[in-house]
Structure 1
Amino acid sequence: MGFYLRTSLKAGPFRFNLSPSGVGVSAGVPGFRAGTGPRGNYVRVAGLGTTYFGGRAPTPTSPGSPPSMLPATHNDGIVMQELSGTPVQQLVAAHPSDLIGQIQTAAQRHLLWPWAAAAIAVLALCSAPFGLLLLVPGLPAVWWLWQRDIARRSVIVFYQVDDVPAVNYERFTTSSSFVSRVQRVWHVEAEGALNTPYQRKVNAGAAALNRRSPASMDLAGPPMLVTNIAVPSLHGKDRSMYFLPDRVIVRHGHRYAGLPYAAVNAHAQAQRFIESDTPPTDAECVGTTWQYTNKSGGPDRRFKNNRQLPIMLYGRLTVTSPDGLLMVWDFSRPDVAAALAEAIRRMR
C-alpha cells in the first residue's frame, strides 16, 4: 500500500526489523545495550479488529453559511471562549494505552548531548591551546550521547494494515488534503461573539472574533514516533493531531493522549471569514467589507484610514469526542476541511 514508507526502522544506533518471530533489534555501536534503547511495538489492523504486540489496546468507547468571522486583534469588552476542550490528562484516563505511555515518557526525557557539548567547548576555550586536546575524546563522546538521546526519545511502532482499514487509510494519506498542500492552515484557539452594535462596527461588521495561530499539515507524525507508515498530521503551536491507522493522537504542550476513531467525531463547514492579513491565493473571495462599518454596511466616514477588507471563504474542521475533546482548524480551502472530515469518518 502507498502509506508504507520502510521495512526497517532506525532510532539512534538501534535498527529494528519485523520478522515472522516478532520485532528484532540490533545495535551498531559498542557500548549500547538493547535494553537501554526504545521498545518495539507491532500493531496489526484488519477488518476483524486491532491486535497489539508490545502495547495495550485502548479501552473502547462508545451546513448553511455561518456568520463572518474576524481574527481577534482588539477585543474590548468581548468575552473570548477558549476552544481547548477537556484536559489531556482526562482523555488519557478515559482511553489508557501503553503506547501513549511510551510516547509520553519519551517526550519528557531531556537531551543530554547539548549540555555535554557546551561543557566541553567551555573547558576547551578556557584552557586553550592545550584544552583543545579535549576535543579528541570530547567529540566522539558528544556523538555517543546524541545517538543515545535519539534512542531514549524514540518509540518504535510497526504497523500492518489490511482489508478495509488499509483502503480507508490509503485514501486518508493520499487525499487532496495532503497531496495538493493547502496554502494556509490555522488552529482556532478561542472565539467570542460580538453582541453590541459598537463591537460589530469596529470589527468590520463581523458576528464573532477568532483567536488563531498558524498551523501546518504533513505526513510526519509525532517527533518521537518512529514508524513504517506515513502519518497524516495537523501541527499547531500548542496543539496537534496525528492520525494513525488505529487511533488519533492529540497533543497539548508536552502531553499526549490517544483516542479510538469510534470516539471521535469530525464535522466540516464552509466559513465566511473577514481577512485582515494578506489573503491566501488559493482561497475564494466572496465579498468585501470595511474595517469600520456603518449601519448600512458601508464605510464609517468618522474613522480615518478605514480600509476595505476581503471576505474569504474558508473551511472549518471541528473534531470532538464525548469525553470532551475539542479541536478546531481552519483551512484556506473548504474542500480540504470536507476531505479531512470524510477521511476521519471512514476510519471509524
Structure 2
Amino acid sequence: MRKSINLGGGFKINLSKSGIGYSWGVPGYRITRTAKGTTRSTYSIPGTGLSYVDESGRNRNRTPSSRNNARNNIQPIQQQEQMCNIESAEIESFKAAEIRNITSAIEKTIRLNKWSTVLIVCAILIPTYPVLTLLPIIGIILKIVAHKSGTVQLEYTLDDDKKDEYNRRIGAWKILAEGDKEWQVIQEAHVSNQKVNAGADRNVKRVVCKIEETTPFYINTNVDTIQIKLYKEILIFLPDKVFIIRKGKVGLVNYEDVSILVSQTRFIESDPLPKDSVVVGSTWQYVNKNGTPDRRYGNNRQLPICQYGVVYLTSGTGLNIEMQFSNVNKTQDFEELIR
C-alpha cells in the first residue's frame, strides 16, 4: 500500500508501509530521501536513457511514537501561585530539512499577501499624499499574484482504507466544532489558597479558539482540511501532516508523531454558562472548607461546576496544546472517532 503526494515544483512525498520518503529534482538531477533513511542522488542525460545513481546513508532507528506517552508530555502544574504558559516550542523546531521547500514557499506567499494588504490600505492616505496613488494598485496586483500563483499544490492519492481513516478524523473534528464553546488553555497555576478561588486547586487562563473545515488560500489540495485557530498559531490538519502557522512562519509535524489525549475536567465556571454545558454542582467564589459561603464577602457569587471535555495535542518536537470543550458528550464522540 502506497500513496504519493505531488507538491509541484519537482517536490514529491511518497507514503508507504515502510515509512515516508521525499524527493526533489529537475530534468537531469533528482535527490531522494528514502523511507529507510538513505539518500539517493540520480544523474541523467534527458532523452538518452543514460543515468548514474549514488546512494549513501543508513537507516536510523525510529523513536517510539509519542502517542503512547502523551501524559508524559503534558506540562506539569506549578507548585506556586504564578501563572505558567502552556505553549508550543519555537517554530524552527517544526522545520525538518526534507520539507523546508514547502514551508518556505508558504511563508513567501504569506509575506506577499501581508505586504499587498499594507499597500492597499495606503489608499486612505491618497487624499493627503497623492504621490501614493500607485501603491494600492500595486497592492491589488500583488494580492492577485499571491492568491493565484503563490499557492502550494498538495495532491493526495489515498486507497479506500486510508480515505476512510482520514474522513473519520475530519468528522471527529467537525463534531467538536458543533459545541457551543471551545477554549485554549494558555496559562495555568497551582492554587494554594483555595478559599478565595472557589475551592479550585488549579487556576487557568483561557481564550476562545475556533475549529473550521476550511483550507487557507495558500494551500490548494484535493482533500478536506481542518483548521484550528488558536491564540498564537493556526493548526492545519492534512492526511500525513499538521501545518503550524505562527506570525508568518510555517512548521510541520508528521501526523503519526502527534499525540491526541482526551479527558474530562470539573471546571468552576465564572464566565457566562455555555448552552450545552453539563452542570454537575455548584460552589461559591469565596468558600469555607465545609463548602458553605464565606459571609465576610458581600459580593460572594454562587458559581456552577461544569463537566467539560479536554483535548491535549502534544508531540516530541514541542507541540503543546490544551483545549477545553463545553459539550462533554461531543468530546466523547470525538475520542471514539479519532482513534
Task: Normalising by structure 1, report the TM-score.
Answer: 0.70
Find the aligned partners of 1:141 and 1:92 in 2 and give their Cα distance. Answer: 32
When structure 1 is superposed on structure 2, of 285-294 and 115-124 the one drifting more is 115-124
Find the aligned partners of 1:50 and 1:320 in 2 and give their Cα distance. Answer: 21
Matched, 1:322 2:330: no
3-state DSSP class of the match of 1:159?
Answer: coil
- 2:299 corresponds to which of 305, 315, 327: 305
How far has the Cα of 1:84 moved from its partner? Answer: 1.3
- Please name the residue that 1:156 is paired with: 153
- Please name the residue that 2:69 is paired with: none
- Please name the residue that 1:249 is paired with: 243
- 1:172 corresponds to which of 169, 172, 193: 169
- Please name the residue that 2:92 is paired with: 89
How far has the Cα of 1:323 moved from its partner? Answer: 2.7
Find the aligned partners of 1:99 and 1:273 in 2 and give their Cα distance. Answer: 41
8 A contact 1:94–1:323 mirrored in 2: no
Find the aligned partners of 2:308 and 2:174 in 1 and give their Cα distance. Answer: 14
Map 1:107-256 → 2, pairs under 5 A = 107-109=110-112, 111-118=114-121, 122-123=125-126, 143-151=140-148, 153-175=150-172, 177-178=174-175, 181-195=178-192, 199-256=193-250
Q: RCO greater where, 1 or 2, for CA within 8 Å and sep 6 or more?
A: 1
Find the aligned partners of 2:143 and 2:173 in 1 and give their Cα distance. Answer: 37
Report the count of equivalent residues: 287
- Please name the residue that 1:263 is paired with: 257
Q: Residue 302 and residue 155 in structure 1: after superposition, are their counterparts in 2 closer, same or farther (change >3 A)? A: same
8 A contact 2:264–2:309 mirrored in 1: yes
How far has the Cα of 1:254 moved from its partner? Answer: 3.1
3-state DSSP class of the match of 1:258?
Answer: strand
Q: Residue 202 and residue 146 in structure 1: after superposition, are their counterparts in 2 closer, same or farther (change >3 A)? A: same
Q: Residue 121 and residue 234 in structure 1: after superposition, are their counterparts in 2 closer, same or farther (change >3 A)? A: closer
3-state DSSP class of the match of 1:106?
Answer: helix
Map 1:67-82 → 2, pairs under 5 A = 78-82=81-85
- Please name the residue that 1:31 is paired with: none
Find the aligned partners of 1:121 and 1:194 in 2 and give their Cα distance. Answer: 50
When structure 1 is superposed on structure 2, of 291-300 and 99-108 the one drifting more is 99-108
3-state DSSP class of the match of 2:110?
Answer: helix
How far has the Cα of 1:43 moved from its partner? Answer: 5.6
State the one-letter code of the partner of 1:159. Y
Find the aligned partners of 1:95 and 1:212 in 2 and give their Cα distance. Answer: 35
Find the aligned partners of 2:121 and 2:243 in 1 and give their Cα distance. Answer: 35
Find the aligned partners of 1:273 and 1:227 in 2 and give their Cα distance. Answer: 39
Q: Residue 282 and residue 225 in structure 1: after superposition, are their counterparts in 2 closer, same or farther (change >3 A)? A: same
Find the aligned partners of 1:23 and 1:95 in 2 and give their Cα distance. Answer: 13
Find the aligned partners of 2:332 and 2:98 in 1 and give their Cα distance. Answer: 27
Q: Residue 166 and residue 139 in structure 1: after superposition, are their counterparts in 2 closer, same or farther (change >3 A)? A: same
8 A contact 2:215–2:224 mirrored in 1: yes
CA deviation map 1:311-347 (0-9, x unaligned): 11110101112233211111112243344455554xx
3-state DSSP class of the match of 1:98?
Answer: helix
CA deviation map 1:69-103 (0-9, x unaligned): xxxxxxxx712222114322123248855323322
CA deviation map 1:229-274 (0-9, x unaligned): 2112221121232211011223344333211122121111011111
3-state DSSP class of the match of 1:174?
Answer: helix
Find the aligned partners of 1:205 and 1:325 in 2 and give their Cα distance. Answer: 31
Task: Normalising by structure 2, report the TM-score.
Answer: 0.71
Q: Residue 91 and residue 302 in structure 1: after superposition, are their counterparts in 2 closer, same or farther (change >3 A)? A: same
Q: Residue 253 and residue 340 in structure 1: after superposition, are their counterparts in 2 closer, same or farther (change >3 A)? A: farther
When structure 1 is superposed on structure 2, of 315-324 and 251-260 the one drifting more is 251-260
Tell me, which stretches of 5 or more residues in structure 2 are unaligned?
1-5, 26-31, 38-61, 65-79
